[in-house]
Amino acid sequence: MEKRKIGKKKFMRNLKCYFLILNLVISLIAFSSMVGLVSGASDQEGGGEISDGESDTPDSRSKSKKNKNPKNKNKEDKKDLLGGIGDIFSSSMVQKAGLGAVVGGIAGGLGGGKKGALWGGLAGAAGGAVWALAESYGLGSTTSLLLGIGVAALIFIMTYKKEKKEITEFHCLPWQAPVGGSDCETCNEFEECSEYTCKSLGQACDLVNKGKPEQKCVWVNPNDVTSPRIEFKEVSKDHVFTPDKSVRPPARGIAIKPTSKECIRAFFPLEFTFTTNEPAQCKIDYNLTTNYEDMAFYLNGNSLFEYNHTEKLSLPGPDALNRENPELKNDGEYRLLIRCQDANGNFNQDAYFVSFCVEKGPDTTPPVIVNVNVPTDNPVQFNQSNLNLEVYVNEPTECKWSREDRSYDNMEEAMVCNNRVWQMNNQNVYTCKTTLTGIKDRTGNKYYFRCKDKPLAEEGDRNVNSQSYAYNIIGTQPLNILSIEPNRTIKGATDVIPVLLTIKTDNGFENGEALCYYNDGKNGKPSNDEDYILFSETKANQHVQRQDLVDGNYVYYFKCLDLGGNAVYDSTSFKVETDRLAPRVVRVYKEDNLKIITDEKAECTYSNKDCNFEVESGIDMSSFDDKVHTAEWILNKNFYVRCKDEYGNQPFPNTCSIIARPSQTTERATLDFGF
Residue 224 within any structural domain of the chain = no
Residues 485 and 462 in one domain: no
Res. 415: pLDDT tops 90? yes
Highest mean pLDDT among 82-86, 257-261, 357-361, 476-480: 476-480
Q: Which of the pair, 372 or 460, is modelled with greater confidence? A: 372
For residue 370, give Cα distances in angstroms to 314, 432, 453, 456: 12, 11, 14, 22
Q: How far apart are the first and last CA of the chain?
A: 71
By C-alpha distance, which of 607, 599, 600, 613 is closest to 651?
Answer: 613
Residues 243 and 333 in one domain: yes
How far apart (Å, rounded) are the C-alpha atoms in residues 619 and 139? 127
SS3 295: coil
Tell whether pTM > 0.85.
Answer: no
Q: What is the pLDDT of residues 594-621, one digit of tens each?
A: 999 999 999 999 999 999 999 999 999 9
How far apart (Å, rounded) are the C-alpha atoms in residues 457 and 395? 14
Domain around 389? 369-474
Highest mean pLDDT among 35-39, 191-195, 248-252, 509-513: 509-513
Residues 14 and 152 in one domain: yes
Task: Give the pLDDT confidence score for residue 130 in this predicted structure.
Answer: 73
Res. 53: pLDDT tops 50? no
Residues 309 and 397 in one domain: no
Q: What are phi and psi of 210, to 5 degrees?
A: -60, 135
Domain boundary among 474, 504, 533: 474
Q: What are phi and psi of 557, to 5 degrees?
A: -115, 145
Residues 424 and 494 in one domain: no
Q: What is the pLDDT of residues 492-507, one digit of tens each?
A: 888 899 999 999 999 9
8 A C-beta contact, residue 559 and residue 517: yes
As beta bridge partners, residue 380 has 475
Residues 428 and 409 in one domain: yes
Residues 419 and 318 in one domain: no
> Mean pLDDT lowest for which of 135-144, 502-511, 582-591?
135-144
Residues 23 and 130 in one domain: yes
- Decide: residue 126, CB within 10 A, 0-12 exposed, 13-18 middle, 19+ buried: buried
Name the band, by pLDDT with cuts 50, 70 and 90, for residue 461.
confident
Residues 467 and 485 in one domain: no
For residue 379, give Cα distances in angstroms to 283, 336, 385, 508: 39, 42, 12, 10
Number of domains in the chain: 6
How far apart (Å, rounded) are the C-alpha atoms in residues 644 and 650? 4
Residues 448 and 523 in one domain: no
Residues 425 and 545 in one domain: no
For residue 141, give Cα distances in angstroms to 135, 145, 642: 6, 6, 122
Residue 258 within any structural domain of the chain = yes
Neighbours of 31 (CB within 10 A): 13
Residue 76 within any structural domain of the chain = no
Q: What is the pLDDT of residues 512-549, one digit of tens each?
A: 999 999 999 999 999 999 999 999 999 999 999 999 99
Res. 566: pLDDT tops 80? yes
Q: Report long-range pairs for 197-204 (Cβ below 8 Å, ≥24 apart).
A: 201/177, 202/177, 202/178, 202/343, 203/176, 203/177, 203/178, 203/179, 203/305, 203/342, 203/343, 203/344, 204/179, 204/180, 204/343, 204/344
How far apart (Å, rounded) are the C-alpha atoms in residues 294 and 287? 10
Task: Give the pLDDT confidence score for residue 427 in this predicted structure.
Answer: 76
By C-alpha distance, which of 308, 334, 332, 309 is closest to 319?
Answer: 332
